[in-house]
Amino acid sequence: MIKSAAIIKNAPRAEWREVRLAKKKAKKQAQIERKAIKVHFPSPMNVRVREPVAVEVVEVFEIVEVTEVADPIIDSAPTREEMTIKARELGIKFDGRTSDKKLSLLIATALGG
């Protein structure tokens, strides 16, 4: 026959179990009370005191006449695509393993010599 949970809960406990249960309940209640009154103090390590600094801003504008503008596309190094097109025009043999530096040297020698 199976006893119901109500009968088991209401069954008398041994005295040592009652003492242990009372201690657990008291400890739990003390934890709850400590949490309720605990005050959180932020860490002083994260606090930065910043004093306001007086800064005087003076704006100075100069009028400069622009004579030439350097084109960044023209002044930059040629791309791999441009070098392959130029190498094919000059009839230079190369493959995908040829580095950009080597390809630029081959084009320079073909144009210069």
- pLDDT digit of tens for each residue in the chain (113 aa)? 555 555 556 667 788 889 999 999 999 999 888 887 777 776 667 666 667 777 777 777 777 777 776 666 666 788 899 999 999 999 999 998 999 999 999 999 999 86
Q: What are phi and psi of 32, to 5 degrees?
A: -65, -40
Q: What are phi and psi of 15, to 5 degrees?
A: -65, -40
Contact 84, 63 (CB under 8 A): no
| Token reading at 97 | 């393993």
**pLDDT at residue number 11:** 67
DSSP secondary structure string, 37-48?
H------GGG--
Quote the CA–CA distance of 98 and 103 in Å, as a whole number: 6
